[in-house]
Structure 1
Amino acid sequence: MASKVLFITGASTGIGAATARAAVAAGWSVGLMARSADKLEALAGEFGDAALALPGDATDLAAQEDAVAKLVDHFGGLDAAFANAGKGLDTPGTEQGDPAEWRQLIDLNIMALLYTARVSLPHLRERKGHLILTGSAAGRRHISGSIYGATKWFVHGYAGNMAEEMREWGGRCTVIAPGMVDTPFFDTPKPDKLKPEDAANAVVYALEQPERAAIREVFLMPTG
């Protein structure tokens, strides 16, 4: 039996890279998309024939279309897509914030995620597939003045809406909502917080459920 196929954006580091490792260990093949071509090629090299490196910018719709087309052509189909690419803000707040940086935030945290859904859904429909979105604890509660948090509120709302749409044809949508994770997202290490592998395990848990069970949200927080 051929392995199932997972497309991952933001795949070169952090949660994306950890999810690739966890998925391959669980028997999946993976398509890896990120802007860092060198890191992506090195990661794909760990997996041999189970991975395809797809360098590109997730905020470019045409680049995502091309990546998914190459992935489907290479492995023969698509069973799941993980819209994981995202960023925070260097200058938080509305009055003191940088509108140009807001645009970058929205382009990656919202538009790129929508692009992943758009390009993958026709293929997922063929296999009653699964859409996974990286949300956040910041998308489940109000944080004073947080524009980043507001983008994650969008992700959580969209995930619920897509879960309702996809169930019409047997598909599933899950939002993974971690608290603080020790990844390159932060400028300084966070050794007492979640590890990327914790979020990756949540992704694989959701993917591996029987077709009758839809895990719509996994909310995980550090104990420290």
Structure 2
Amino acid sequence: MTRKTLFITGASSGIGAETARKAVAAGWNVGLFARSEDKLSALVDELGEQALALPGDATSLEAQTKAMAKLAEHFGDVDAAFANAGMGVSGAGTLAGDPEEWQSMVQLNVMGVLWTAKAASTYFKKNGGHLLLTGSAAGRTHIKGSVYSATKWFVHGYGGNLAEEFREWGARVTVVAPGMVDTPFFDEAKPDKLKPEDIAEAVVYALGANKRANVQEVFVVPSG
């Protein structure tokens, strides 16, 4: 069976890195896109010839477009993409929030997702591929003054809109929405919360669903 190929942003650690591991184990090739070239190289050493390091900045449409082209040249196509890169901010709320942090966060959490969708759509219109987005439980509730939560509301709304567009090509869109996950996203460990592999398993589940089924949203929240 020919291996399909998955492009992952934010692939150097946390949910992105675990998704790469789970996807390779499930029979996928993976393109690992992130800014940390050293971490990507180490992950490629671990995963072997089914992985390709693609250093780059997710806030750049040009970088994502070039990375997907390199991935397609290397493995033959881009069958799926996971827009996973994201960030939070240190100051919660509007009054205490830092406008420069907001700017960086919107560039990554909103524009970075748009760039992944834009770059991937060229391939998916031809091959009926699958786009996955990292949403959040915070993107379905109102949190006092939270700009981060609002960026995830965007992801959920845009994911639904994309699903309507991509359906015309036979392509699928899934928003994977975690609750709190113990990842490097947080300054302090969250040992009683979800682990990155829990979210990675949800991604691989959605990827493996029968072509007739679009798993449009998956919520994964701590059971405790």
Q: Does 1:53 align with 2:73?
A: no
1:40-97, Cα deviation, whole Å (9 max, x unpaired) = 1100111211010000111111111110110000001011000000000011111121
Task: Give me the TM-score of the superposition, normalised by structure 2.
Answer: 0.99
Q: Name 2:64's counterpart in structure 1.
A: 64
Q: Name 1:91's counterpart in structure 2.
A: 91
Aligned-residue CA RMSD (Å): 0.6
Given residue 150 of structure 1, which amino acid in structure 2 is its aligned partner?
A
Distance in 1 between residues matched to 2:164 and 2:6, nearest whole Å: 21
Distance in 1 between residues matched to 2:125 and 2:169, nearest whole Å: 7
The aligned runs of 1:99-178 (5 Å cut-off) are 99-178=99-178
Describe the SS at the equivalent of 1:31. Answer: strand
The alignment of Structure 1 onto Structure 2 pairs a total of residues equal to: 224
Task: Give me the TM-score of the superposition, normalised by structure 1.
Answer: 0.99
Distance in 1 between residues matched to 2:194 and 2:188, nearest whole Å: 14
The aligned runs of 1:194-209 (5 Å cut-off) are 194-209=194-209
Q: Name 1:220's counterpart in structure 2.
A: 220
1:186-208, Cα deviation, whole Å (9 max, x unpaired) = 00100110000000000000000
Q: Name 2:34's counterpart in structure 1.
A: 34
Residue 37 of structure 1: CA displacement?
0.5
Unaligned runs of 5+ in 1: none
Unaligned runs of 5+ in 2: none
Describe the SS at the equivalent of 1:169. Answer: coil
Residue 125 of structure 1: CA displacement?
1.9
Describe the SS at the equivalent of 2:183. Answer: coil
Does the CA contact (< 8 Å) of 2:173 and 2:216 recur in 1? yes
Distance in 2 between residues matched to 1:174 and 1:99, nearest whole Å: 30
Q: Does 1:24 align with 2:24?
A: yes
